[in-house]
Structure formats: C-alpha cells, structure tokens
Structure 1
Amino acid sequence: MGRPGGFKKSLNLLDLTFLGLGSIIGSGWLFAAANAAAFAGSYAWVSWLIGAFAFILIGLVYAELGSMMPRSGGFVRYPQYTHGSLVGYLIGFIAMLAYSSVAGIEVEAVRGYAATWWTALGTKTAGPTFIGYVFEIALLVLFLLLNYWSVNVFGKFNTVITTIKFLVPIIAVIVLFTHFHPANLSVKGANPGGASGIFEAVSLSGIAFAFLGFRQAVDFGAEAKRPQRDIPLAIIFAILLGTVMYLLLQFAFLGAVPAAALAKGWANLSFVQAPYADLAKSLGILWLMNIIFVDAVISPSGTGNIYLSGTTRVLFAWAKTGLFYSWFQKVDARTGIPRGALWLSLVLSVIWILPAHLSFWQGLVGNVTSATVLTYMIGPISLASLRKTSPELERPFRLKAMSFLSPLAFIAASLIIFWSGWTTNLEILGMTLVSLVLYFAFMDKDGLRQRLRSDWKTGSWLVVYFVFMLIVSRLGNYQLPAGAKPIIASPWDSVIVAVGALIFYYWGVNSAMAQPEIDADDESDEELKAANL
C-alpha cells in the first residue's frame, strides 16, 4: 500500500466535466431510448425532460456543498457532518450498493452488444455464459489497472475517451434524422403508456440512471485543482450537455423506426439486443451499425472505468467517517490512490454481475437508480441544515432561492425512488434496514453509549422515511408483484409521496445537529480548512 498519503490535485474543469459527462453518456445512450419508448411511447421525450429537471435541482444543491467542502466521496460524508453516525452509516451502505454495481451494469452492456457477433458470450434474455462472465470480469480487471497508477493518468485517459464516445451519438443523431417519419410520433402501444408510463420510464428505462453520473465532480472534489469554481460548473455543464444529447437521441430513435416494426406498438418493438445497431441494420445503414458496435465497447467501458474509480472514493469516504474499516482510507503516497478501496471496488463489482437474476441490464438499472437517488435525497437536507447551523462557512457557489429549490429537489428525488417501484425498493430499502445490525458492529462500546441517544435523535427521521417509502411503494401503482393491484391509483400515489417528502424534508432539517461535525484532517484541502474551519 505504501505509507499513507494525500490525494493529488490534478483535475481541471474539463476533466471534471468529462468525468460527469463520461458517466452520463455510457450504456444509457445504447439502451435508454428504446426502453423509454416501450414504457411511454412517443412521449418518452417528456420523461427525459422530467429526469433532467429533477437532476438539475439535485445537482445545484451539490454544487453548493461540493464547492464549500470538496471532499473525496462527498455524498457519503456530508450527511454525517450534519446528522451524525446513523445517517452517515445508512447513506454509506446504500452508496456502497449503488456505486459498486454500476461498473457491472456497464460491462453487461458491452457484453450484450458484443453478443450479437460473438454468440458464445450469451444473450440479453438468458444472460451471460461462462465465457461471457470471463469477458465481463476481464473488463473490470482492466478498469482496475487503468485506475491503479495515478489519478492524473486516469483523468486524462477519461477525457480522451469521453471525447471519442461523444462523437458516435452525434453521428447517429444526424444520420437517423435523415430517416425521420413524423407519423411515428402518433403510434400507440406503449406499456403502460400515459402518465404512468412517462413516470415509470424516468426510473426504470435508464433515464435517471443516465443522469446519475453528474456526481463524479463531487466525488473527485478533493482531486480538483480549483474545486470552489470548477465543481459547480462541471455539474451544470455535464447535466445540460447530457440532456441535449439524450433528447436528440430519443427523437432520432422515435422517428427513424420503420413503420413495419411498429405494427404491434412501441412495447413490442423487436430492437432489444442492440437497439441502435438493430435500427441501423433495419435501415440498411451497415456502416453506422458497425460504428455503433465499436462505440458499444468504448462508451460503457469508459463509464465503467469512471464508476470503479468513483466506488473507490465512496469506500474511502465511508471508512473516513469511522463507520467502515479504517484500512480502506489509506491513500498510497506515490500515486494518490486508496488502493485497498480500489481492490474492494473490483471485488464488489464482480459480485454484482455473478447472480444470474441480476445480469440483465434493465433489472440492474432499476436497483441502481433507486439506491443512488437514495444517497442524493439527503443532500438538500444537509444543505438547508448547514445554512441554518453554519451560516459563517464560505460558500463560493451559493444556491439562490434555496428555501424553495432545496425542498423541491428532495421531492423530486423521492418521486424517482417511488417510481422505481415496489420490487426494487423492497430489495434496496429492506437490505439497508436489515444492515443496521452492522451499524452497531462498527461502533465501539464507549462510542455507542455516548452517541446512541443523540445520533438516533438526529437520524430517526431517515429510518421512518425509508419505512414510509416502502409502504407507499406497495400501495402505489409501480412494479407491483404479479397479480397485485394498486390500492392508491396514479397520480394520487405520487401526490402522497410528494406531500410526505415535504414533511420528511422539514423533519430532517430540524433534526440536524446544532453544530455540524466537519472533519478537520482531510489531507487534500488544507487551504479550505484554514479559511472555513
């Protein structure tokens, strides 16, 4: 491991923006448009606008937090600063689940496209074969090697890869718009279609999953050259550029599908194994199909590489809070990489791809979206809490109209979680609540006696919030078990979630510690500590 060291400040605004954009333009562009059309039909573009609006709200919240306190794995550390160990532990556990699975999703996407010409890798419906698993694990090992030597090499490599993989979707948009059929926008046959289909598409088709990547600028904040300026700009640029690209891709896909392929409606479209490549093939544009197949290796691989590195920072941050093994917070002095956390990231990513029932891209996407947004929803509460308890902290980026936008961001995050559905939320929230037994294991006896009452007082609202989301997910209209009927019809189920979220927002803000516990030993931002602490 080498002696403990500090993170290297090597990333500029372009690097941070491309870390976010490189995560946003990953496997999502290869599958999300087709999946969204199956849920919402020709109104899938509305789902993209809803997703973009929600994540701009959430991103603006983290723009203030990230510029104020640039921390490696900040999403895990901010909740503990404001609400103590219980909230810090719960968010850290969910973040571990969410982050570690994304690299697995990306290598699954690569294998899914590659299987169309190398059938020994498996199929989308049956999952990977043994050779397919070896292929996916080999890609994950490659990501580890790219991350192992230095963050500067990783950052510059990602900037080049993101530039390349941004060009292919642009080419696809231009070519497909030359085959645009306006009549396609009137075709019905989505499942479930209507408002429910639009909302469901946000969480389950890959739309919210695509926008999750904005967080990279926050997670790599400790390694930014000018974090106070560049983190907010990188978040905003990545979300806006990603939104424009995905809207163009969605319209291009909707308009270019041949009429014959839509005979049974959007829900029965046959382009499922490799949607854009299959579409190009059906239009006789074989050169575009081949380019897409090449990008189907580059885009998800680049994103998987970023997320393996991002998972490393989350595990480091969780260890830094004292609620995970301290060995994982050790940073190699020469490379500036927490190598122990990097190795664990690889192991966790491999575990995610092994169970056969989790090997399908869309199934994993629902789980990851819900889990990741559960780590985001705490941000608005932490921001409002710090405005209340620590107004003296320097805020290089200050979110205007915070008292309005911050609760709106919390409501948006809660709705995305709810639209992920009962099946997904039962897995993620149930697993998280059960994991509370580990919370006690990571606290020594003296610490437990001293902090149990105070930390449960500042964190009990989050436990009740999780239970509330489980209950409304079961009563609502999304992803219920086979044969089950909703007790609360749409859109009233979403209205109840929004109202409940508002109540929990103010409960969470008012439960914050009177004095936030911001660590004063972060190795990478001494100047910021001197100014703010």
Structure 2
Amino acid sequence: MQSSGGFKRRLNLLDLTLLGLGSIIGSGWLFAANEASIFAGSNAWISWLIGGVAFILIGLVYAELGSAMPRAGGFVRYPQYTHGTLVGYLIGFTAMLAYSSVAGIEVEAVRGYAATWLPALGTKAQGPTFWGFVVEIALLVFFFLLNYWSVNVFGKFNTVITAIKFLVPLLTIVVLFTHFHGSNLAVGGAKPGGTAGVFQAVSMSGIAFAYLGFRQAVDFGAESKRPQRDIPLAIIFAILLATLLYLLLQFAYLGAVPHGQLLKAGWAGLTFTQAPYAELAQSLGALWLMNVIFVDAVISPSGTGNIYLSGTTRVLFAWARTGLFYTWFRKVDARTGIPRGALWLSLLLSIAWILPAHQSFWSGLVGNVTSATVLTYMVGPISLASLRKTAPDMERPFRLGAISIVSPLAFIAASLIIYWSGWTTNFEIIGMVLASLVLYFAFIDREGTRNRLKSDWKTGAWLVVYYVFMLVVSRLGNYQLPTGAKPVLPNGVDDLIVAVGALIIYYWGVNSAMKKPEIDTDDEEVLAVNAADV
C-alpha cells in the first residue's frame, strides 16, 4: 500500500445524488411500510412525513458544511474542527458503530427474502443458518471487491443499480393502487397506535433508518468533481425524491392490504412479515409482481450494502485523519484512490456484525443503527452555528438561510428521533459510546494531544452531558422500557422535555466551540483530476 496517494475527483452530481438515493432505497422500502403500519396503522404516512421534514432540516445543515469543506468522511471531521478531540473522538466511535453494521443489515435483508425461495438459508424468526451466513459473507466480500479497484467503477456500478432500484418501487406503487381499499384507512388496531405509534414508527420501523443514506454526498465529498455545487444539490434531491417515493409506497401498502384480513386482527395482526411486499402481491394474485419484487429484494439491499461498505471506509479514513485512530487507516492507494487499509477493516467489521445469531435480525438492529447514526448527525447543527461565529469569512458556496431557526430545529429533530428509539436501544448505544472513553485516553497521547486535554474537555463537556440527558429521559419516558417498567413522564410531556433540553444543550454547545476552528486542508488527500477523469 502506498501512502502518497490521494482521492480522485470523479463523481458528478448524478453520481452523488444516486449515492444518497441508492442508500435510502435499500432494505427500508422492502420492510418499513409493513413495520410502520403495525406501529401506527393508517397514520403511518405521517411518520414518513415527520422523517422527511426532520432529515430535510438536518440535510440543509450538512449542505452548507459539505459545500464549504468537502472532505472524505466529513461527518466525523467537522465536529473536531469546531470542538476538538473529545467531540471528534466520540462522534468517530459512534460513526464506526453505525456505519459498519448497515452492510450487515442489508445482506440480512437479501438473505431474508431469498429464504422464501431457499428455506435452507434460515427464517426471519430463527435467523440465518450456516448456509445463510455463507451467503451473507459472500455478498460482503463481493461488495469489498467492487470497492477495491477504484471509486469510478464503484460509482458507475451504483448509478446503474440505483436506477433499477427506483423503477421497481414505482412499478409496485402503480400495481398496488389498482387494489386500493379506501376503507382500510378507517381500520384501527395498531400497536401502540395513536401519537406514540406515529413517533415510535419514525425510529423503530425503519423510516429514519431509510433516510440515513442522504449523508453519502458528504462522505464522498473529496471525490466529487464540483463539490461546492453538487453536494448541496445531491443532498436535497435525494431526500425530496425519497420522501415522495416512500409516501406513495406507504399509501399504496395501506390501501392494498386485503380488507378482510384487517377486520380480523387490525394493523397489529398483519401477517406479511417475511417478505411483506412480495407476500402482499401474492395475496392479490399478482404473481409476476411478486417475482419482480423478489429480484429487487436482492438488488436494492445489495446496492445499499455496497455503498455503506464504501462509506464505512471513508468514515474510518476520516477518523484516522483526525489523529484519533491508527494512522495506517488514513493511507490512500496511489493508483486507485482508495484507502485500502480502511476498506479491509470495513469488511471485517461488517462480517463481525452478522456473526452472532439474532432473532428478528433486521428489525432488531435497525433501531440501534438509527439511534447511533443520528447521534453522529445531531452535532452538525452545532458545528454549523459555531463556524458562523468563529469563521465568518469562510467561503460558503451554499449558505443556509434562517440559520437561527433551521439549525436549532435540526438539532431538536435529531434529538427526538434518538429519544423515540427508546430506552433499550439508547442504553446499548450510548452506553457503548461512553464506555469507549477508555480508548479515548489510550489515543489521547498521539501527536501531543495530551497537552490540550483540559481545553478539549471544556469544549466537549456538553456532548457528554447530552448523552446522559438522553439516557435519563429515555428511561423515564414512554418507549422501549424494560419489561414491567412504567413510564414516569406523561406522553407528550416527555417529547417537550426532550425538545427543551436539546435546545438548552444546543446553545451550550455552540458557545463552547473553540475560538478558532482547526480546519485541515484536503490537499494531501485529493489528487488533481486529469482530462481522462472528467
């Protein structure tokens, strides 16, 4: 491996938009409508709308950051630019957890649908068999090889796959609307239903998980031909297109479920659990659509898993680039422009996530990944507002308007999504992140950073308090409590407490930023594009 290499600017606006859209349209579209219907019933579309608005707010924040500072794995690096090593380390560790597990979720979705044809691969309830694990690992190795040779091969492959991934959901929408029963929208029986069901569906059914992919335009910013223009546009296009698609899918699903089945057990009694859209198509007699969905069930999650394996590579590179992870992972191969050491680690981490036997693997991990990923997003609004104060003259090709409103709203939205993930999920994720501070002290002596320990804790204490605050409210709130536990906070009051607490910590975080941001350059990591690359 050569250390003198750099990333190559080869991705255009279409590539970046489809990277985001390709990440969003993964296993989420195959499962989330069914899961959301169980949680929220005919109000499930509201959950998608809440998710879309929340991620538009968050996306606009990163549109400015990404265009001003196009960096590989920018989500990990911006917090360190504004708040130092403690915040940079915690976000980096959280991002490693979040990113590395997504590829595992996607190959599990592929295996889950394939198991309908090949029962030897396992079931949703029991998890993968030995041969199921073999198929999942083989897929991850295939993604690894696609990423190993060059970003150009990866990007063009993704563009073709995403085009296919977009067409099949559109076809599904058209067919299901021909079987639409308006009376379904008046049926109850969701679990838990009501407002709580709508909010919980955002975090736990796969809705927020589906939207997480918008970040790819930022993570691949160092490889964009025109990052200042294309990153903001790619973020906005991907989220808007995905929101429209998912709203149509949810309405189509709600209306096409056989009305007689709903009358028997309500939305919580839906039996389309192994392969929801395919099973629904079969119940409607559309066997040809069932087969098309089964084919797409391999293509869609595979495409997303491929993107996330590559995205994990950029995150690990970025973490190493900050000086808080092993320097070997920041080396970029000179010929391909790929950080191959980080890519190898991405593969090993993705395999590690699928090795344990999980019951209901997809739905079990999706809440954890959602909470962990949004825990990396929520710091963006604070970094953006901090930079407006400490670096007012920075060139900003995309300048977010009404930042005093949009930025705190984005932070509140992210905090609510984390809270709706529930106590069990947040205890696992935030607990691991706080426990990882042991490793922070192991790395803190690198490159003389121990001398600045006191100042970095001063600029980063708000984040530790935020984690503790979210744990306490999650335990007192209404979501995913331990068996037998009862909520202390009334429904609605808990959301208000999260919003007010988040707002207080937001302004604390903004005012805790370093007086002068420490922004590195991308000169050593990006190679000039030549005529052959354009």
Q: Which runs of 4+ in 1 moved over 6 A?
A: none
Provide the C-alpha distance between the structure 1 equivalents of 2:517 and 2:476, rounded to a whole number of angstroms.
37
Which amino acid letter does the alignment assign opposite residue 172 of structure 1?
A: T
Provide the C-alpha distance between the structure 1 equivalents of 2:450 and 2:312, rounded to a whole number of angstroms.
31
Cα shift at 1:357:
3.0
- Indicate the residue corresponding to 1:82 in structure 2: 82
Q: Is the 8 A contact 2:8 2:527 kept in 1?
A: no
The number of equivalent residue pairs is: 527
Cα shift at 1:500:
0.1
Cα shift at 1:446:
7.8
Cα shift at 1:10:
0.3
Which amino acid letter does the alignment assign opposite residue 197 of structure 2?
A: G
- Indicate the residue corresponding to 2:281 in structure 1: 280
- Indicate the residue corresponding to 1:228 in structure 2: 228
Correspondence 1:513-528 to 2 at 5 A: 513-520=514-521, 522-524=523-525
1:149 equivalent in alignment to 2:149: yes
Provide the C-alpha distance between the structure 1 equivalents of 2:155 and 2:275, rounded to a whole number of angstroms.
29
Identity %: 80
- Indicate the residue corresponding to 2:250 in structure 1: 250
Provide the C-alpha distance between the structure 1 equivalents of 2:97 and 2:391, rounded to a whole number of angstroms.
31
Which amino acid letter does the alignment assign opposite residue 202 of structure 1?
A: V
- Indicate the residue corresponding to 2:177 in structure 1: 177
Which amino acid letter does the alignment assign opposite residue 496 of structure 1?
A: I
3-state SS of the aligned residue for 1:437? helix
Provide the C-alpha distance between the structure 2 equivalents of 1:41 and 1:17, rounded to a whole number of angstroms.
32
3-state SS of the aligned residue for 2:116? coil
After superposition, give the CA deviation of every residue in 1:27-84 in whole Å (9 maximum; x if it has no partner).
0000000000000000000000000000000000000000000000000000000000
Change (3 A) 1:284 1:358: closer
Q: Is the 8 A contact 1:352 1:358 kept in 2?
A: no
Cα shift at 1:258:
0.4
Provide the C-alpha distance between the structure 2 equivalents of 1:223 and 1:422, rounded to a whole number of angstroms.
38
Provide the C-alpha distance between the structure 2 equivalents of 1:445 and 1:20, rounded to a whole number of angstroms.
34
After superposition, give the CA deviation of every residue in 1:188-228 in whole Å (9 maximum; x if it has no partner).
00000000000000000000000000000000000000000
Correspondence 1:102-501 to 2 at 5 A: 102-262=102-262, 263-357=264-358, 360-444=361-445, 447-501=448-502
3-state SS of the aligned residue for 1:100? helix
- Indicate the residue corresponding to 1:4 in structure 2: 4
Q: Is the 8 A contact 1:37 1:190 kept in 2?
A: yes
Change (3 A) 1:442 1:415: same
Q: Is the 8 A contact 1:459 1:511 kept in 2?
A: yes
Q: Is the 8 A contact 2:63 2:235 kept in 1?
A: yes
Q: Is the 8 A contact 1:108 1:359 kept in 2?
A: no
3-state SS of the aligned residue for 1:116? helix
- Indicate the residue corresponding to 1:38 in structure 2: 38
List alignment gaps of at least 5 residues for structure 1: 528-533
Q: Is the 8 A contact 1:21 1:239 kept in 2?
A: yes
Q: Is the 8 A contact 2:125 2:360 kept in 1?
A: no
Q: Is the 8 A contact 2:6 2:526 kept in 1?
A: no
3-state SS of the aligned residue for 2:84? helix
3-state SS of the aligned residue for 1:125? coil
Correspondence 1:499-514 to 2 at 5 A: 499-514=500-515
Change (3 A) 1:44 1:139: same
- Indicate the residue corresponding to 2:98 in structure 1: 98
Provide the C-alpha distance between the structure 2 equivalents of 1:511 and 1:7, rounded to a whole number of angstroms.
33
- Indicate the residue corresponding to 2:70 in structure 1: 70
Q: Is the 8 A contact 1:105 1:365 kept in 2?
A: yes
3-state SS of the aligned residue for 1:489? coil
Cα shift at 1:119:
0.2
Cα shift at 1:306:
0.2
Provide the C-alpha distance between the structure 2 equivalents of 1:204 and 1:242, rounded to a whole number of angstroms.
18
Provide the C-alpha distance between the structure 2 equivalents of 1:526 and 1:453, rounded to a whole number of angstroms.
37
Provide the C-alpha distance between the structure 2 equivalents of 1:489 and 1:392, rounded to a whole number of angstroms.
46
Q: Is the 8 A contact 1:358 1:364 kept in 2?
A: no
After superposition, give the CA deviation of every residue in 1:253-285 in whole Å (9 maximum; x if it has no partner).
000000122120111100000000000000010
Cα shift at 1:8:
0.5
List alignment gaps of at least 5 residues for structure 2: 529-534
Provide the C-alpha distance between the structure 1 equivalents of 2:304 and 2:447, rounded to a whole number of angstroms.
42
Cα shift at 1:524:
4.6
3-state SS of the aligned residue for 1:217? helix
Q: Is the 8 A contact 2:109 2:297 kept in 1?
A: yes
Q: Is the 8 A contact 1:74 1:219 kept in 2?
A: yes
Cα shift at 1:526:
8.6
- Indicate the residue corresponding to 1:530 in structure 2: none
Cα shift at 1:359:
6.1
Which amino acid letter does the alignment assign opposite residue 401 of structure 2?
A: K
Computed over aligned residues only, the root mean square deviation of the Cα atoms, in angstroms, reads: 1.1
TM-score, L = length of structure 1: 0.98
After superposition, give the CA deviation of every residue in 1:375-398 in whole Å (9 maximum; x if it has no partner).
000000000000000001000000
Provide the C-alpha distance between the structure 2 equivalents of 1:370 and 1:520, rounded to a whole number of angstroms.
31
Cα shift at 1:3:
4.0
After superposition, give the CA deviation of every residue in 1:311-361 in whole Å (9 maximum; x if it has no partner).
000000000000000000000000000000000000000111112237610
3-state SS of the aligned residue for 2:335? coil
Which amino acid letter does the alignment assign opposite residue 434 of structure 1?
A: A
Provide the C-alpha distance between the structure 2 equivalents of 1:256 and 1:504, rounded to a whole number of angstroms.
44
Provide the C-alpha distance between the structure 2 equivalents of 1:42 and 1:366, rounded to a whole number of angstroms.
22
Q: Is the 8 A contact 2:121 2:128 kept in 1?
A: yes
- Indicate the residue corresponding to 2:532 in structure 1: none
Cα shift at 1:522:
4.0
* More deviation, 172-181/436-445: 436-445
